[in-house]
Structure 1
Amino acid sequence: MDHQGTKRFVPVETGAPRYGSDLIAAAIREQGFPYICLNPGASYRHLHDSLVNYLGNEKPKIILCMHEEHAIGIAQGWAKITDRPLAAAVHSNVGLMHATMGIFDAWCDRVPVVVIGATGPLDATKRRPWIEWIHCTIDQGGLVRNFTKWDDEPGSPEAAVESIRRATMLASARPGGPVYVNLDVTVQEMELEKVPALHDISRFRAPADPEPPRGELEAAIEILAKARRPVILSGRTSRSEPGWADRIRLAELIGAKVITHVKLPTSFPTTHPLFIGETGWKLSKSLLGHLTEADAVLSLDWLDLAGTINQVFPPGTPSAPVISVSNDFHIHRGWNMDYQGLPAVDVNIPTVPETATARLLEALEPRLPAPKTYERRRLNAEPSTTAGPISLMDLARVFNRVTRDIDVCLTSRPLGWPTNANELEHPHDYLGHNGGGGVGSGPSIGVGAALALRDMKSRRVPIAIVGDGDFTMGATALWTAASEHIPLLYVISNNNSYFNDEHHQGQVAVARGRPPENAWVGQRLQDPVPDLLMLAKAQGIDGEGPIIDIANLAAALERGIEKVRAGQPWVIDVRVPPEYCRDPMVELA
């Protein structure tokens, strides 16, 4: 130890694996995971030893988390930047129970995560009294099987190597998703008689995305070549810059208006004149009008295509031809309805948007005139006041003004954030919602995204705009950011309320003829008001607030951005009223 009691790492020598867990650790390393996110647990104590004393805590390096849910959230945030999975380890059945919400978020978000679990000895004669009985679960993977792409419980170290290889391949193949590999402690602790011969890891790559079927592709080409008022629903896409550029080229080539979804990462520049707005589940009148007038609709893996199409073309009414590009159906299950309604489509192309867009461009560019040149459009919305309380719309407007000429990465935005409120011009500008609606995930997803950007040496400033409920539930994720020196700005949209539920209670009261004024009961975080900045400081992160006057907001945001640019995490507590923005910040359509 040093004079402050800090532990010093003792160097280790890596030779041939001696134990099952050594071989498993090597299997994790060969996947190229730079990190493994975990909260420690005795069920994988042997694997933990191998990660530290066999691999030397390098490739992967342990990212220590205060909760298993944070471990999954950090891996999810990493994947939202890189399109690649990260490893996370969770302890036994109890740690897996903690992690389930994060795994569900990653599942609904179609994000790859490789979750390593463990269990006490399945051989009852080898269990320690009490603890390894309650931490042994028959079919432990059944806890998460309905919202993972695959799970396994290998019976030997060599089988565990294949399991990790298969898990990583399946998690990475689109649509991405979490996978779970459960390790019996006996498999981890056994001594190896010999090191098994293995095929080279390069022979186990994830399969390429499929090419569009010729007939479906040709049908789509004919529809789009003739369309005069096409609309693109730009949905789930990768963070690929070439894919981003291709979507712009296709929209310009066919003159298509483009709509994006507030729950999904940005997939089209909001400053492009063909962009006509973000939407949630309910279309605005202007977006509904554009879609009603469309003579072709191209859906690029849209979230809830049926819900959107049925608003525009109700069953039994005439419809423009709808082209659906998606292979999401490959992972639809009966347990949860995250796949949404069954959409009525005319052309069904079973691949990912990037592949389909590239093939459409190859066919359409020789047939259609060169597109016109489009000028960049700025979203210039000034706050309505220069002093006084800060509304949620004010926060959005001031944030837009402060960051409009800065490369930022919005890792999250709170519920009620106005649409069309951010200038998004790069795949990393906005990472979308958490997927499954799990409150408390915003802080950890932000940590994972910021970690990935730091390692990429990106100049982009990661910013998590989180609600106070999201922040308080996930606040201990900030300790990992502090411990790992991960630069990230948290802006807390603090309305001292679980307002989504308060809003629902008001609606219920009105529908029943009861006083909506009582909707705050059991919803408001008051008496006392939580000190959110103190929560952050307890995790080792400083900040400022509460900011209650709009006159002080821009300067506070600027100071926070400079702190992050200097390499440190920072928190700003901004007080806003309990409200949602029902109108867009800027009307585009």
Structure 2
Amino acid sequence: MEKEKDDAPAATQTVPVTEGAEAFVELLTANDVKYIFHNPGTDNMPVLEAVYRLKSRGRPTPELVLCLHESLAMSAAHGYFMLTEKPQVVMVHVDGGTQQVGAALHNAQRGMAGMLFCAGRTPWTFEGEKRGGTDILIQFRQEQMDQAGIVRGFVKWDYELRCNDNIHNVIQRAFQIANTEPHGPVYLILPRELLMEEMKSVKLLPREKYGPPVGPAADVSAISQAARLLVDAQNPLAITHYLGRHHQTVAPLVELAETLGMRVVSQGMRMNFPTNHPLFAGESAEPFLKDADVILIIDKQVPYVPANFQPSPQTKIIYIDIDPVKTSYPSWNFPADIRIQADSGLAVPALGRAVRELLTPTNEKYCRERSQRHQEEHQAKRAEWKASARAKAKQRPISAEWLAYCVAQAIDDHDIVVNEVLSNRTDVAHHLQRTQPGTLFRAGGSGLGWGLGFALGAKLAAPEKTVVCLTTDGSFIFGQPIPALWAANNHNAPFLTVIFNNQEYNAVKRAMIRAYGEESCTAKVGNWQGVEFAPPDFAQIARACSVWGELVEDPEALPDAIAQGLERVRGGQSALLDVRMEKP
């Protein structure tokens, strides 16, 4: 019987192109790239020309998203990947553009965001030997001994294209590595001579034959041992950070927690566990470490800070992670009784099944009683936090608790929240109810200023969703606000920005107090000149970028201001609220 056409094996295609840049763009399209987040230069301009040439011939191409700063391009690609798990392209200008990406690349690395990070290379030739060779003086200055060395410590793979004969293999390799867990950025240098080199055709390899491997399943024996520890535990605790990257794994974690009556700490890089669930224990594991007799750590970068809090030496620790020894962290050494390298999407359901097989009626009774105790504690805490926030509804300056409460009351369950709040992260965690997978994100790294670009990428990835970026005054400035707001307006990707504006770098201020105490010279004289700043009127900056902007200082006006901002965004216009609030 003849095979249906849809069942035919994938085959290599050959498509006509006129030069290397067209081949590059065709390969991006073949790898499901929807957007090229770029900051243009004289080196990568052939790619822009190739996009328009291919469009003129009726060929599908990625859309060009002009980013007026390189770090914005990287953060936008990061945001897009976090929602879709589809690597996009960041394209910048030679060595300088590579450096301008800055801390956004650190965030992509630690946040495990797959992307193809491309930079042009200043031309090799300068006497007219080749098309695309050096034709302006500055190009001599842009050549470095090792351009990829700028980023080698932050990427999974780097390569400089050496010829167009194997460009199809190089690009396919780049996407395969970026797409393999743990995901991350890869770096590709594109010489201008090769982008402008004449070609007749390019091969498009079948993507499905060069894809990433399936994640590893957990060892059956190790899962059985872990299940026995959890079933026998008197006070088990689960801690996770990015399990929610697999949306389908949230429900099995909830089921496992309910089966055991186990608290779950979710530290917010993703929506890992419903925050309204009675077993949700917040974002900090520190209050629970000493009393837990078994700790289940799943997909966590750093489980705790040993200098501050540690589990009891008698505590049994189970560690499940796609990378359970964190090979890219030079200083990382945490004990575990059972360490399992596995895809949590496979390991958590397997662990749940193993636990249920071991439960006896006596175990089940004890788990129900434990769950009831945790539920009562959870409800009491929630009531306490709500009462505290409402008590500050008229406080001036505006309380961080009241602001977080008002935001939480205004947004919907399916709205996407990009959370870059630092000093007041506890207030946000207490009030922000996230119950749906894929609705809460943090960068995963420590570079500030990612929130605006991330929100831009998130909106492009999910145009039907409302995107809300919670940030701070310092992070807003770091986030290249004019390029970010301009891009959101220019590319029809509106989102709401809410600035928790305390007029200072509070994280630095608190670090000084921790290190030197309240008796420090700075604290005594009250001169925080190095960390305090009276910021500009951010609402006016927003208006200059065709964004609806409001300065909010009246706590009673806050609910209406948030509602207006959301209405603007849902109507197609970006909005910004500069909320002047108390200093912590």
| Superposition TM-score, scaled by structure 2 size | 0.86
Which residue of 290, 302, 305 maps to 1:304? 302
Deviates more, 1:131-140 or 1:31-40: 131-140
Tell me what 1:350 maps to: 341
Partner residue in 1 for 2:161: 154
1:550 alignment counterpart: 555
Give the drift of 1:129: 4.4
Residue 37 of structure 1 and its aligned partner are, at CA, apart by 0.6
Structure 2 counterpart of 1:451? 460
1:113 matched residue in structure 2: 115
Cα–Cα, structure 1 residues 254 and 507, in superposed 2: closer, same or farther, change >3 Å?
closer
Match of 2:321 among 307, 326, 347: 326
- 1:204 deviates by 0.9
User: 2:153 and 2:185 mapped to 1: Cα distance?
Assistant: 11
SS at match of 2:301: coil
Q: CA deviation at 1:345?
A: 0.4
Q: 2:244, 2:271 within 8 Å by CA — same for their partners in 1?
A: no
Report the AA paired with residue 35 of structure 1: Y
CA contact (8 A) 1:383 1:398 kept: no
State the distance in 1 between where 2:62 and 2:500 align.
Answer: 35
Q: Which residue of 1 aligns with 2:257?
A: 251
Aligned residue number for residue 540 of structure 1: 546
The Cα shift of 1:525 comes to 2.4
Amino acid at match of 1:322: I
Whether the 8 Å CA contact 1:83–1:238 is kept in 2: the answer is: no
C-alpha displacement of 1:196 = 4.7
Distance 1:331 1:256, change over 3 A: closer
Deviations 1:490-536 (A, max 9, x none): 0111122222223334555646642414342133323xx41211111
Distance 1:248 1:513 in 2: 46
Tell me if structure 2 keeps the 8 A contact 1:39–1:91. yes
The secondary structure found in structure 2 opposite 1:411 is strand
Q: 1:223 aligns with which of 218, 229, 252?
A: 229
In the alignment of these two chains, the number of paired residues is: 541
Q: 1:301 to 1:15 in 2, by over 3 A?
A: closer
Change (3 A) 1:261 1:143: same
Structure 1 stretches of 4+ with a deviation exceeding 6 A read 369-378
Amino acid at match of 2:402: D
Q: 2:245 aligns with which of 239, 247, 253?
A: 239
**Which range is displaced more, 210-219 or 149-158?**
210-219
Task: Assess, with a 3 A threshold, how the Cα gap between structure 1 residues 426 and 32 changes in structure 2: closer, same or farther.
Answer: same
| CA distance in 2: counterparts of 1:265 and 1:513, whole angstroms | 38
Closer, same or farther: CA 230–503 of 1 in aligned 2, 3 Å: closer
Q: TM-score, normalised by structure 1?
A: 0.86
Gaps of at least 5 residues in structure 1 are: 1-13, 580-589
Alignment of 1:365-384 (within 5 A): 365-368=356-359, 379=382, 381=386, 382-384=389-391
Identical columns (%): 25
1:80 and 1:156 map into 2 onto residues whose CA distance is: 32
Structure 1 equivalent of residue 143 of structure 2: 136
Partner of 1:53: 53
What is the root-mean-square deviation of aligned Cα atoms in Å?
Answer: 2.6
In the alignment, residue 153 of structure 2 is paired with which amino acid? N
Change (3 A) 1:231 1:133: same
My pick for the range that moved more, 196-205 or 418-427, is: 196-205
Q: Is the 8 A contact 1:306 1:342 kept in 2?
A: no
1:272 counterpart residue number: 277
Separation (CA, whole Å) in 2 of partners of 1:271 and 1:530: 37
Shift of 1:226: 2.7
- Alignment match, 1:435: 444
User: Deviations for 1:115-164, whole angstroms, at most 9, x for unmatched residues?
Assistant: 11110223455433422212222321111010111111121123332222
SS state at 1:325 partner: strand
Using the alignment, how far apart are the partners of 2:203 and 2:510 within structure 1? 61
Deviations 1:446-489 (A, max 9, x none): 111122121xx34xx21111111111232021111011121210
Q: Distance in 1 between matches of 2:498 and 2:114?
A: 27
- Confirm or deny that 1:28 pairs with 2:28: yes
Residue 349 of structure 1 aligns to a residue in which SS?
strand
Corresponding residue of 1:8: none
Instruction: Summarize the alignment of residues 77-226 of structure 1 with structure 2, pairs less than 5 Å apart.
Output: 77-123=79-125, 125=127, 126-192=133-199, 194-197=200-203, 199-226=205-232
Report deviation, 1:201. 2.3
Q: Distance in 2 between matches of 1:479 and 1:184?
A: 30
Deviates more, 1:364-373 or 1:378-387: 364-373
The answer to whether the aligner puts 1:575 opposite 2:584 as a matched pair is no
Letter of the aligned partner of 1:394 in structure 2? W
Deviations 1:24-43 (A, max 9, x none): 11111111011111111111
SS in 1 for 2:300: coil
Whether the 8 Å contact between 1:234 and 1:300 is mirrored in structure 2 is yes
Judged with a 3 Å threshold, the aligned counterparts in structure 2 of structure 1 residues 191 and 481 are, in CA distance, closer, same or farther, namely: same
CA separation of 1:237/1:100 partners in 2, compared to 1, >3 Å: closer, same or farther?
same
Q: Does 1:364 align with 2:372?
A: no
Contact 1:38–1:62 (8 Å) recurs in 2? yes
**Matching residue's letter, 1:363:** A
How far apart, CA to CA, are the structure 2 residues paired with 1:159 and 1:277?
50
What whole-Å deviation, never above 9, does each CA across 1:210-258 have from its counterpart, x for those lacking one? 1112332232232223334211112222433321111111111222111
Alpha carbons of 1:187 and 1:141: their partners in 2 closer, same or farther (altered >3 Å)?
same
The aligned amino acid for 1:22 is E
- Mapped partners of 2:310, 2:266: distance in 1: 16
**Structure 2 stretches lacking a partner, 5+ long:** 1-13, 128-132
Range with bigger deviation, 233-242 or 550-559: 233-242
